[in-house]
Each structure stands twice: as C-alpha cells, then as structure tokens.
Amino acid sequence: MSAPTQQSDATPASDPQAVDLDAQRSLKGLPFWANPRFGLLVVIAALVVVFSSLRSSFLDTGLTLVPMQQDLSVFLVVGLAQLSVLSLGHMNLAVPRMAAISAFAMGWCYQHLSMPLALGLLVGLVVGAAVGALAGWIITATGVNSFIVTLALDFALVGLVSLLYSHVGDGVAFPVHPAGMTTLRNDTFSDYCTGNVCGPPVPLIVLFALAAAVLVAVLFRLSRIGREILMTGSNLTAARLSGIPTSRRVIQAHALSGALAALAGFLLAINSGAFSADIGNSFLLPSFLGPVLGGTLLSGGAVSVLGTLLGATLTEVIQTGLNLLNFSVQDLNIYIGLVLLVALSLDRVRHVLAERRGTRA
Amino acid sequence: MTSTVDPTIDPARATRGSSRLRALTFLRGTEFTLIVLSVVGFVALASTTGGNLLTGPTLTAVFQYLAVPILVGLAQMAVLAVGQMNLSVGVVTGFTAMVAAWLMVHIGLPAPLAVIAAVLLGGAIGLANGLLVVLTRINGFIVTLATMTVIDGLRYGVNGTGTFQNYSSGLVSLGQASLIGVPTVFILALLVAGAVAVFFRRAALGRQLLASGGNPLAARLSGISNDRAIVVAHVLSGLLAGVAGIVVVALSGSVNASIGDDLLLPSFAAPIIGGVALTGGVVAVLGTCLAAFIVRLVDVAQAQYSIDQSWVDLIVGGVVLGAVLVTQVRTGSREGRRR
C-alpha cells in the first residue's frame, strides 16, 4: 500500500495527516471568509466585472457564455476525475489517456457497430472504468505509489492510443457523427420552448457535467462506499482496522476516476465534433487546477465538489477573458500559472489569519 | 558515479539499521539488473542490425542524444532525494535553451557568457521553486505544476514559435565534436553525473539532503534544516535542467520553443527505473544513467527498425511499470523471508 502523503507534503517535518485533521477541525469554528470556496466566489465575481467592463462581448450569450459553459462542462468532469483519486491521497496522471482510449472505444463503436449515442457512451464509460480499475488494482496489489503507476500507464496508453488509431481507425479521428451528436453540440435549452416560455441559454451537455457532479457529491457525502473511500484516504491503517475493505475501495475510486475521464472525453468529442486521437491532451493541468483551487487536499481524506466547480469556473473565466483581450495562448499559460500560485498562497495566508483569530477568540 | 548511497555514513539510515542492509542489497540488485539489461539490449540491437549500430556515426548519435535524458533524469533525481517532485524540469530545459540562443543571437553575448547565464537562470528558477515550496507550504507537486505552466508560457515568449539558428558556430562544433571517439556532450553529462554522485556521497550538504529526505523528523532533531534541504535540492534540479538546456543548444544547432515538451515523463522514468524512491532519502546516479541508456536503446531500436514511434511510448511505459513491479516483488519476498 502506498502512502504518497508523506513524501509529497511540503512540510516533511510534521505529520501531514495530523495537520489536515487540525485544519478540518479548526475550520468549523472559523469566520466564513476562511472558507476557500468563498474566496473563489469573490475572485470569480471580481474577474467577471473586470472582463465585462473591458470587453462588453464577455457577456454576449452566443459568443462567450455558451462556449464557456461547454468548456466548463468538460473541465468540471476532468476535475472530478482527478478528485475521485485525490480523495484517497492518490494521483491519476493517466486521466488524459484514459479519456483518449475511451474516446477511441466510443468512436469505434459508433463507426463500426453503428451504436446509438447512449449505448456508445456506456461502452466508453465501461472502458474508462476498466482502465481505472486496472490502475487501482496494480496500486493495491503491488503497493507501488499511484504517481508512478499512473505515470507509466499514461506512457503506455499514449503509445497504445496512437497505435489503435493508425491501425484500426483511419489515422487521427473517426469521421462518424451518430444521431444526436450534432444536437448535443449545438443546442441550448433556449431552443426548446413550450408556448412562449423557452429554456435558459444553457448548452445541453451542461446536464451531463452537472449530473456527474451531483452523483460524485452524493457518493462522497452520503453513500457508504464514498465515506469509506474518504476514510481510506485519511488513514489507511485505521480504515483497514475498522473493517473497511481498503483494497476494494482503492480500486473503486480509480475506476470512478477512469469512468469520469471517459465522460470528459465524450463531452470534449461532442464539443469539438470528432472522436480524435488528440482528445485528452490538454486535460492534465485542468484536472488538478479545479480540485486544488477548490480546496481538495492532495493528502486525501477530504474532497470538495462545489470547490472543484468553482475552481474550474475561475480557470475558465480567466481563459475566456484573456482570450477576449487578445492574449496569446502562451501568455495565457503564464497568467493561469500565476493565478494558481497567488490563489494558493492567499489561501494559505487566509488560513493562517483565520486560525490566529480563532485562537484569540 | 559508480556508487549511489554509501549507507555506512548515511545519517538517515543510521537510525534504521535493518532497513539499511535491505536498501543496500536492493540498490545493488537494481543496478546489477540494469547493467545486464543494458549490455544484453545493446548486444542484441547491434547484432540484429548487422553491426550497423557499431558504425561511427550511429554509435556517436546513440551517445550524443543520451546526454539530455541523463541530465534531466538527474535533475528529477535531485528533488526526489528530498521527497519532492519537479514538474518544471522539461520546460526549464526548453526555456534555458531558448534564452541562451536569444542571448547569443539578439544581445550578441559571447557563447561562454550565454552558457553561464542560462545555467544560472535554471538555478534561479529552481531557487524560486524551492522558496515557494518552503514559504507557502504548498505541496511541491502543485508549486512546480504552476511554475511549469508559467515557464511554458515564458518559453514561447522568448521568440514565439520561431526558431533560433546560426548562433555560435564555436559552441555548436564543440557540441558536435568527439574526444577520442566519445561525444563531448556525453562526456559532459558523465562529468556532471560524477559531480552529482560526489555531492550526494561526500559533501556534507548532500548528506543532509538525503537525511532530510529519508527521515525529516530525525534530520531536524540532528540539527538539519529541512527547509534548506528542499531549497538546495530545487536549486540543484534547476541547475541540472539548465545544463541540459545548454546541451540542447550546443547539439542541435537550432532551437525552438517546443524543446522540453517530451522531457517530463523521461525525467521521471530514468530515476524511477534506476531505483530512486519517491519517498526521498535515496539517490541512484548510476541507476539513473543506466535507465536513461535503456530508454535510449528503445529509441534507437525504433529508428533502426523504423517502428512506429508509438511503440516506444508503449514499451517505455511497460518497462517503467515492470521495473517498479520487479523491485516491489523482490523487496516483498525478502521481507517475507525475514519474517
């Protein structure tokens, strides 16, 4: 069994588990602004005001808001895929390639078996879950650190995916468009009216992302399996001694991560209009950005789905805003990296301040 | 560079007598396996290609392009020694290469100065990484993920997607040259590897890094600053990435901002196959070099047999996983026998 918390923690001198528990405990008695989610909300609101005053097109429905929601749906699900294993204190560096190989499976099913959209999606989810479960199984069976296992798996899948595309597909993408794909891509709820009342300008695929978010939140908050996964992440030995089948929980969390990566691949394929080999390439950084900005601990034992949504939203707002201000892709990277650093440092400062006030009171 | 950790004078190990012996045998085992694997792989490759591998230009290329993987592997190893990770290794290599070329082409700096400036730049980035980790107490993985993104942008900021060439004919001919049949860049990589090995084996600071990585609490109680160890490790990692950047500049004759894109995963592959633990406290310079050589052999095989490049990734992934599994099985069975 790996214990990646110890070596990846920034304060090697102290026991990270103890620190986390302290942090959790002290948060309850702290002022509301000590909550990282609140800080994110303020920053998002401020940025929206800034960007929309600089460029009025920032609030344009068709030009900005709808594409933003489409991108956000993908990155929310990508973040959730990472969050599923962060709950264990594990990492999944193979999220990009799990999405890629599932997208291949889905594209192949649509192309060669002419499957309906929903059935193909199901196949993709199963493939993703299977690859994830494989990663989880290797981790539990060998006790090797999840970082290494998923890194090596990513390596292997990079090769496998492009081999599959060049031998089975026709090079880079499946040209197939199963029934319903175009509808999912183009339609928003405002296209569906009953009488004079039309839906809000929300793309249909947002539903998929929200459903995934709600499911993951319910899983970790209410279900027995979810709670047991969190306990496994928070203290492996204690969880095992309490009779939790920790190996099975690890495999399940990784399978969930794989399935969510598959869903993200599906959503991206819908957005971009093709099941292609480059799906997933841009997933690694966003998969960490959302959960980490949202306050999910890398050391395991605590997750925040709402925080992941806010973290992903913040990244998306910055990207769209800087795009509108004609920043190049490279400049974008600089600013997103800086925002990540500043946000995390501020989080630290806020936490320290809040704790000081807490002890004084 | 022949040895890795001499456990008799390792302060981290001194506290854990039984694991000391185990670690020693395990390290020897890993390196021995790697040596056998390298030799077998090389001989097999040389014989199946009908001796083509042993002709001058091919053999030179094999070792010329081994220098960068060795250096980035060592750069990653330096931070793994204290239990940290550095995701910015690849982009720092690319960034320093771009800056070195830019200094020569646009500023007109002589090559030696540009080389020194680029290496120092790598060290400065490492210093920033280390200070951020220590001052903010944010996980090193996240910090370097963020700086990786920033530097990725800066890397393209130097010259967009454009290419620098014709910078310093002296530097390039030096990079392409060979000394008694051995490429100069490979010699440089070996010298650096030797220096890193001596640093971790003999220098007090190097021992402190290992002690801190192996057992931070014990290290602190022995008067070692864990914070300083983390900063030093990151600086060393940045310097090594800077050297790798210089090698790229000297070797290729033209550089663009895509350099470093494909270096992050190999930087982890080399030390991990080489027997370095992610938990810190262990370095394996020889193992890292051998692992880089094995990965290079896979690359060469791909070129010699004109195999699809995708197979390389597939095989390297398999090899990393296999190496880890073998190590685990071996230590596992040994532990079992002890009981």
**Using alpha carbons only, what angle is made at residue A322 by residues A321 and A328, rounded to the nearest 5 degrees?**
150
Alpha-carbon distance of A353 to B93, in angstroms, equals 38
Q: What is the DSSP string of B210-239?
A: HHHHH-HHHHHHTT--HHHHHHHHHHHHHH
User: For position B27, what pLDDT does the model report?
Assistant: 54
CA-CA-CA-CA torsion sign (A268, A274, A280, A286): negative
The dihedral through the CA atoms of B178, B183, B189, B194 has a sign that is negative
SS3 A170: coil
B137–A348 CB contact, under 8 Å: yes
Would you call B182 helix, strand, or coil by DSSP? strand
Chain B interface, best mutation among A2, A6, A8, by max B CB count within 10 A: A8
A154 touches chain B (CB under 8 A): yes
Single out the residue of B278, B26, B243 nearest to residue B121, CA to CA.
B243
* Residues from chain A contacting residue B141 (CB–CB below 8 Å): 8, 91, 298
Q: Given A4, A11, A344, which is nearest B142 (Cβ)?
A: A344
Q: Counting Cβ atoms within 10 Å, is residue A346 exposed (0-12), middle (13-18) or buried (19+)? A: middle
pLDDT of residue B43 exceeding 80, the answer is yes
CA A8 to each of CA A143, A250, B143, B212: distance values in angstroms, whole numbers, following the listed order = 16, 19, 11, 13
Residue-level pLDDT at A277: 83
Stretch 37-56 of chain A: residues touching chain B, C-beta under 8 Å: none
Q: Residue A356, Cβ neighbours under 10 Å: how many?
A: 10
**What residues in A contact B82, CB-CB < 8 Å?**
12
The answer to whether A172 faces chain B, any CB pair under 8 Å, is no
A358: closest CA among A40, A38, A28?
Answer: A28
Of B141, B145, B226, nearest to A12 by CB-CB distance is B226
Instruction: From chain A, pick out residues whose CB is under 8 angstroms from the CB of B268.
Output: 148, 151
Whole-angstrom Cα distance, residue A144 to residue B148? 26
Nearest beta carbon to residue A151 from set B138, B265, B309: B265
Residue A135 confidence (pLDDT): 93
Residue in chain B nearest A292 by alpha carbon? B142
Confirm if B247 and B75 have CB atoms less than 8 A apart: no
Question: Between A351 and B17, whose confidence is greater?
Answer: A351
DSSP code of residue B280? S
Per-residue HEC secondary structure of A107-157 comes to HHHHHHCCCCHHHHHHHHHHHHHHHHHHHHHHHHHHCCCHHHHHHHHHHHH
The predicted-structure confidence for B77-119, as pLDDT tens digits, reads as follows 999 999 888 999 999 999 999 999 999 888 888 888 999 999 9
Instruction: Indicate the DSSP class of residue B179.
Output: E
Best residue in A278, A330, A338 to probe B by mutation, most B CBs within 10 Å? A330
Q: Which of residues 319-338 of B touch A (CB under 8 A)?
A: 320-321, 324-325, 328-329, 332
The answer for B 238-267 residues in CB contact with A (under 8 A) is 265
User: Chain A partners of B332 at a C-beta cutoff of 8 Å?
Assistant: 143
Beta carbons within 8 Å of A185's beta carbon, 6+ residues apart: A205, A270, A271, A273
Interface contact flag, B141 A8, Cβ < 8 Å: yes
Tokens found for residue A342: 């500043």
Cβ contact (<8 Å) for A348 and B320? no
Q: Delimit the domains of chain B by residue range.
A: 7-338
What's residue B194's pLDDT?
95
Q: Choose among B134, B141, B265: nearest Cβ to A298.
A: B141
Per-residue pLDDT at A84: 93
Beta-bridge mates of residue B325: none
Q: How far apart are the first and last CA of chain A?
A: 42
Successive 10-residue mean pLDDT values, chain A, 361 residues:
38 41 49 69 86 82 82 93 91 92 90 86 94 92 83 85 78 76 76 73 86 94 91 89 91 95 93 85 85 78 88 88 80 80 75 68 48
What's the pLDDT score for residue B164? 86
Across the interface, of A12, A332, A341, the residue whose CB is closest to B132 is A341
Please, are residues B59 and B80 in contact by the beta-carbon 8 Å criterion? no
Interface test with B, best of A333, A339, A351 (most B CBs within 10 A): A333
- Average pLDDT for residues B173-188, to the nearest whole number? 84
Determine what percent of chain B is predicted with pLDDT higher than 90.
29
- Which pLDDT score is estimated for B18? 62
Helix, coil or strand: residue B137? coil
Name the A residues in 268-297 with CB < 8 Å from any B CB: 285, 288, 292
Beta strands in chain A (DSSP E): 173-174, 193-194, 197-198, 275-276
Q: Which of A8, A151, A160 sits opposite B314 (nearest CB)?
A: A160
Lookup: tokens for A284: 């690694």
pLDDT score of A234: 87
Q: Report, at the CATH architecture level, how domain B7-338 is classified.
A: Orthogonal Bundle (1.10)
Burial of B222 (0-12, 13-18, 19+ CB in 10 A): middle
pLDDT score, position A33: 59
- Choose among A7, A153, A159: nearest Cβ to B83: A7
On whether the CB atoms of residues B54 and B304 are closer than 8 A, the answer is: no
